[in-house]
A and B are shown apart, each in its own frame.
Chain A
Amino acid sequence: MAYKVGVIMAKKRKKEKKTLEQLCKKEKEEYEEYVENQITKILGVISNIALGDLNVQAEREKNDVLGALADGINIMIGEIRKRETQMQERINYSLKRTKELIEIIQKAAAGDLTASAPISDRKDEFDALAAGLNMMLEEMHERDIELKAKIKELDKARLILYSLSEDIQEEKESVERKVRERTAELEQERAKLAAVTENMTIGAILLDDKGKAIFANKAAKNILGIRDDKDDILEIFFIKFAKADVKKHFLECIQGKPHKIPEVEVAPGIFEISFLCIPDKKNHKKEFFGHLIWIKDITPQKILERAKSEFVSIASHQLRTPLTSIKLFLEMLADEEVGKLNSLQKDYIENIQKSSERMIKLINNLLNVSRLEAGTLKIEPRLMQLEDFVATLIEEAKPLDKTGKCNVVFIKPKRKLPKIPIDPSLLRQVIYNLLANAIQYSLPGRCNIAVKIKKEGEDYIISVKDTGIGIPRKAQPRIFEKFFRADNAVRLFADGSGLGLYVIKMIVNSWGGKMTFESEENKGTTFYFTIPTKGMKKKKGEKGLRHWWS
């Protein structure tokens, strides 16, 4: 442009130079006036332009330099206008694109990350910016989605946790409730147990499976004299009952052997001590859950027993003493060792002897009864052949039949019986007594006695059958009663004690047998008693039976 103007200007200048040279001075003055005017107009235009008004135009008066200037200025104005328009367009475009981007950013800021800035084909910086923005927004959107998803998950998890924690809370409350109930139950049980254990008169010491004392009830503490719970219960127990070697018993109990000390006297009391082992039921090995020591104060019973025993002992001794001398002197008198007797004297002496004998027998019977009633009859069985033994007993009893009036038969079982444990002294007593009765209560000429052994089920039944006076119906229910004698028996033999059947029934019962009878007055009686086929079981009593005669 400038070049064009320059070219024109250059051409014009050449012409102008010629013009000026050809003109006169007047023309020069007119020309100066014209030039001034023209320049003033042009300046006016320029100042308008300078002030920003592009809607002006320079006048072209002549086709001279000034005219060229005017043209030049007009072209410049045109150019400026063009440029202004372009500039304006460019600004508008930038604004538009920027607005677009701002909009998108605003949307994004408001939360809409799906908005995307438009991209044109121009591939200019705005497009680059838009692309960049879109990429960023895409990423942000993705992240947003991810985050939202994670938040959702977390929310879910939170909800689950919340509901779980609610459940746990409920469970906790329910468990707490149950614990409270259970505790109350246990407390009740404990109270019941305590009521029992603390009021028990038997002392109980509970030991764990290692043998350490974990509990002693009130009675035990009293017996052992324990006041302080810190005391070593076991030590005190060992010391107090040292004379019975309780430590040894205790150690054996720990090994699994239960023990019992029936009687140990530690002044001022007498005690029975039991060592028990409590097996562990859940554990199928033979281990023990714990151990129990019972200490039973048996002082009153023992004192009574001892008093009774002493009484019996004294009575027997004291009563027997005078009776002995009576017996001995009567014997010597009756044997005429100190002088001959007339028949009446002999008669009287015999009567006294009989009474004396009766008293002696009575005392013996009372002693036996007393022992049996104390309940501690010993049973000491030995393996024996039953029939053989019964046969010897029958032989032994023969002297009872002084006049030989009786016929005794023994009916053995068909097959020989196996040896079984039998306490001979007890069986002897029973058979002897039954035979004595059979002989005593049979009339001469009618004395047939049959002893029979039979097996029935789990028992051997021994029967003693006679053809004697029998037991009247009225007397039958009372026949085993202590001191009872049927009238017909008393009439026949006044001297019976009434203790015989009572005693042997007790003996039979003590070995686990049963005793029964069948009888008819004036016909005869059969007594039956049983021995288990397994035989008699050993019983650790304190007393054996002393021989006595009915």
Chain B
Amino acid sequence: MEETQNTNTSSTKPKILLAEDDKYISRAYKDGLERAGFKVIIAFDGEEAMQKIKAEKPDLVLLDLVMPVKNGFEVLEELRIDGELSEIPVVILSNLGQESDIKKGKELGAVDYLIKANFSMKEVIEKVKEHLARSKLSRK
């Protein structure tokens, strides 16, 4: 397995880091995303998420907000200040729906905010593809 920094080639699957503390939801997204052709790295708390992002450098992060050890906002803050990591698009996948949370997430640099309960798997996969494409374009 090569350590890749960029996953632009079609032969390599895009790497998604999924940070989600509920094991059932985590399993559901993992299965669905893998079936859709992505490589999924899972993390169950914010600290694990940070470690794995630094190690794996994913193409996109699906980030839950309410997580033990470190929450999603803290992760966003840490990613933002890191020069390289701040380039990775982060989609918030959370069941918190308050205006203030959405606002905060976007201010901290998330590219999108999806309320899990309102989005089907297919819709989530669509969003992931959309943001991956965008991020590729912006890097070019």
Contacts and interface: CB of A to CB of B under 8 A. Distances in A.
Interface of A: 309, 313, 316-317, 320-325, 327-329, 331-332, 335, 337-338, 360, 363-364, 367, 378, 543-544, 546-547
A309 B96 CA distance: 12
B96 A325 contact: no
Given A332-B121, A364-B118, A324 B95 contact: yes
Given A317-B66, A329-B28, A332-B31, A363 B98 contact: no
A328 B29 contact: yes
Given A332-B31, A332-B32, A321 B121 contact: no
A322 B32 CA distance: 17
A471 B74 CA distance: 51
Interface in B15-54: 22, 24-25, 27-29, 31-32, 35
Given A322-B24, A364-B117, 8 more contacts: A320-B115, A321-B95, A324-B117, A325-B22, A325-B25, A329-B24, A331-B122, A547-B118
A332 B28 contact: yes
Given A327-B117, A332-B31, A360-B118, A546 B25 contact: no
B127 interface: no
B116 interface: yes
Nearest to B31: A332
Contact of A313 (B24, B28, B96): B96
B120 interface: yes
Contacts of B121: 328, 331-332
Interface in B103-140: 115-118, 120-122
Given A316-B97, A317-B95, A544-B99, A323 B35 contact: no
Q: Select the residue from A332, A338, A547 with max chain B CB neighbours within 10 A.
A: A332
Contacts of B117: 320, 323-324, 327, 360, 363-364
Nearest to A328: B28
B99 A316 contact: no
5 contacts: A324-B117, A325-B22, A325-B27, A378-B99, A546-B99
**Majority-rule SS of B interface residues:** helix
Contacts of B99: 378, 543-544, 546
Contacts of B22: 321, 324-325
Contacts of A332: 28, 31-32, 35, 121
A203 to B, nearest CB: 29
Interface of B: 22, 24-25, 27-29, 31-32, 35, 66, 95-99, 115-118, 120-122
Contacts of B32: 328, 331-332, 337
Given A317-B66, A337-B35, A363-B117, A546 B97 contact: yes
B97 A324 contact: no
A364 B95 CA distance: 11
Contact of A325 (B28, B35, B120): B28
B30 to A, nearest CB: 10
A320 B116 contact: yes
B81 to A, nearest CB: 26
Given A320-B117, A331-B122, A367 B25 contact: no
B118 A316 contact: no
B19 to A, nearest CB: 15
A497 B50 CA distance: 41
Contacts of B118: 360, 364, 547
A309 B101 CA distance: 13
A210 B125 CA distance: 65
Nearest to B32: A332
A370 to B, nearest CB: 11
B25 A328 contact: yes
A316 B116 CA distance: 11
A313 B35 contact: no
A324 B116 contact: yes
A331 B25 CA distance: 13
Contacts of A367: 97
A541 to B, nearest CB: 10
Nearest to B26: A325
Nearest to B117: A320
Most chain A Cβ neighbours within 10 Å, of B29, B31, B97? B97
A327 B96 contact: no
Q: Which of A327, A363, A547 has the most CB of B within 10 A?
A: A327
A331 B120 contact: yes
Contacts of A329: 24, 28
Contacts of A316: 95-97
Contact of A321 (B25, B27, B97, B122): B25
A44 to B, nearest CB: 168
B24 A325 contact: yes
Q: Which 5 A/B pairs are nearest by Cβ-Cβ distance?
A: A328-B28, A320-B95, A325-B24, A320-B117, A324-B116
Nearest to A541: B99
B23 to A, nearest CB: 9
Nearest to B97: A546
Nearest to A309: B98
Contacts of B116: 320, 324
Contacts of A378: 99
Contacts of B97: 316, 364, 367, 546
Contacts of B28: 324-325, 328-329, 332
Contacts of B29: 328
A248 B29 CA distance: 51
B25 A317 contact: no
A322 B25 CA distance: 8
A447 B29 CA distance: 39
Nearest to A360: B117
Nearest to B25: A325
